[in-house]
Amino acid sequence: MPVIGVAKFLIIWQENRQVSYEYGRYGNPTTVVLEEKISALEGAESTVIMASGMCASVVLFMALVPAGGHLVTTTDCYRKTRIFIETFLPKMGITTTVIDPADVGALESALEQHNVSLFFTESPTNPFLRCVDIKLVSELCHKKGTLLCIDGTFATPLNQKALALGADLILHSLTKYMGGHHDVLGGCISGSIKVVSQIRTLHHVLGGTLNPNAAYLFIRGMKTLHLRVQQQNSTGMRMAKLLEAHPKVKRVYYPGLPSHPEHELAKRQMTGFGGVVSFEIDGDLHTTIKFIDSLKIPYIAASFGGCESIVDQPAILSYWDLPQSERAKYKIYDNLVRFSFGVEDFEDLKADVLQALEAI
Ligand code: PLP
């Protein structure tokens, strides 16, 4: 590069003609490599990474929904996202319509009745793995000038290409499959340069920067993403079938099963269904606790998507502070289990789950 003066370089950078690392909060060569890798996987013009998935959703809402604006979201969703929407957005006069993931009519009427800035939904959702018809809802949103952001954490960019299906933005909690080792937190949003720049500008003010060491761990984790996801798709599918056929399991939620309400849609818009299988034990809170305590392989924890299997009983983990009647509003019953299958040998996992079911 020809030697130029500092002042001249600043002008070039201000005009966005050259990336600058003039202050750590705005980026660093390692974080830019990670952003470029994610953009390549998503087919996006631009990606912004942040300190966690929650940080990404919060900055997204604050950047794209104006004070007094309207947001549409779906019933089944990560609890902390719902908490932010319900408790913080109203402080900025932002109202929200909450629809069932399959209720396209409810989306149409919300778009008719309100000036909707953003439709934000997970697909698949947490914890029931419901799916939203991304192509259809993006067409409906775009007719009204509404942006569509998909939280694709459960899908990964390998199992679902939300931008190619029509979404404006795709968000991930990198903490899960992308990192893949349950040892680092991060989040990202990808889309057009125009919209991502709007989010990035606010992110630089709010300061939820991902440190370069964490970015390095994601870059390293992503080298095996395709192998891990392949294994997890396969184990998830096989375990979902096994669980559904088991007399001690009442119900299984997995988009790869014909019993799933959006199975046909999931087959159209996904190439695999991931390693997370949610299911209900045929029993009460204590039967389910006994099942979980009898398992030998998985960790009992709140995350998912990594190499090690993880099991979560939402009634006593992520929803423990709500009374049973409140939990029931979200269909979080005492017997619900969310099982994230890792990359362990399938036969070992199968034997472990079967012996734990025998124990109850
Ligand atoms: N989106 C989904 C679907 C999630 O399940 C989670 C966390 O579990 C998040 C976002 C938040 O991500 P993080 O834990 O990285 O803040």
Catalytic option among 37, 176, 228, 338? 176
pLDDT of residue 41: 98
pLDDT of residue 18: 64
Residue finishing a domain among 222, 251, 272: 222
Q: Which two tokens stand for residue 278?
A: 């949610």
20 and 68 assigned to the same domain: yes
Mutate to test the pocket of ligand 1, among 54, 120, 184, 303 (most ligand atoms within 8 A of CB): 54
pLDDT of residue 4: 76
Residue 169 in domain? yes
Strand partners, 98: 73
Residue 211 in domain? yes
- Confirm if 175 and 184 have CB atoms less than 8 A apart: yes
Question: 188 φ, ψ to 5°?
Answer: -150, 155
Residue 151 known to be catalytic = yes
Catalytic option among 151, 168, 312, 334? 151
Residue finishing a domain among 191, 222, 253: 222
For ligand 1, atom 5, the nearest C-alpha belongs to 78
72 and 197 assigned to the same domain: yes
pLDDT of residue 11: 80
Residue 158 in domain? yes
208 and 246 assigned to the same domain: no
Residue 100 known to be catalytic = no
115 and 196 assigned to the same domain: yes
> CATH number for the domain including 311?
3.90.1150.10
Report the number of distinct structural domains present in the chain: 2
For ligand 1, which residues put their CB under 6 angstroms from it? Answer: 52-54, 78, 122, 126, 151, 153, 173, 175, 185, 187
Give me the tens of pLDDT residue by residue for the chain, a chain 360 residues long.
556 788 887 787 777 666 678 899 999 999 999 999 999 999 999 999 999 999 999 999 999 999 999 999 999 999 999 999 999 999 999 999 999 999 999 999 999 999 999 999 999 999 999 999 999 999 999 999 999 999 999 999 999 999 999 999 999 999 999 999 999 999 999 999 999 999 999 999 999 999 999 999 999 999 999 999 999 999 999 999 999 999 999 999 999 999 999 999 999 999 999 999 999 999 999 999 999 999 999 999 999 999 999 999 999 998 999 999 999 999 999 999 999 999 999 999 999 999 999 999
Which ligand 1 atom lies nearest to the CA of residue 186? 15
- Helix, strand, coil percentages in the chain from 3-state DSSP, rounded to 5: 45, 15, 40
286 and 174 assigned to the same domain: no
* Domain region containing 259: 225-358
Going from the Cα of 150 to the center of ligand 1, the distance in angstroms, rounded, reads: 13
For ligand 1, atom 13, the nearest C-alpha belongs to 53
Going from the Cα of 138 to the center of ligand 1, the distance in angstroms, rounded, reads: 23
Q: Which two tokens stand for residue 242?
A: 């096994």
pLDDT of residue 17: 62
Residue finishing a domain among 207, 222, 237: 222
Q: How far apart are the first and last CA of the chain?
A: 69
123 and 66 assigned to the same domain: yes
Going from the Cα of 238 to the center of ligand 1, the distance in angstroms, rounded, reads: 25
CA distance 167 to 145: 12
CA distance 90 to 359: 47
Which ligand 1 atom lies nearest to the CA of residue 175? 15
249 and 214 assigned to the same domain: no
> CATH number for the domain including 113?
3.40.640.10
Cβ-based neighbours of 15, under 8 Å, separated by 6 or more = none
> Which among 152, 187, 186, 158 has a CA at the least distance from the CA of 170?
152
Catalytic option among 37, 78, 168, 177? 78
pLDDT of residue 16: 66
CA distance 9 to 102: 51
156 and 181 assigned to the same domain: yes
pLDDT of residue 53: 98
202 and 233 assigned to the same domain: no
Mutate to test the pocket of ligand 1, among 154, 173, 276, 338 (most ligand atoms within 8 A of CB): 173
130 and 251 assigned to the same domain: no
Quote the strand ranges of 224-330, DSSP E: 249-253, 276-281, 299-300, 310-312
91 and 214 assigned to the same domain: yes
Residue 1 in domain? no
Catalytic option among 25, 143, 220, 268? 25
For ligand 1, atom 4, the nearest C-alpha belongs to 78
122 and 94 assigned to the same domain: yes
Which ligand 1 atom lies nearest to the CA of residue 302? 8
Cβ-based neighbours of 298, under 8 Å, separated by 6 or more = 308, 309, 310, 311, 339, 340, 342, 352
| Burial class (CB within 10 angstroms; exposed 0-12, middle 13-18, buried 19+) of 14 | exposed
Going from the Cα of 310 to the center of ligand 1, the distance in angstroms, rounded, reads: 15
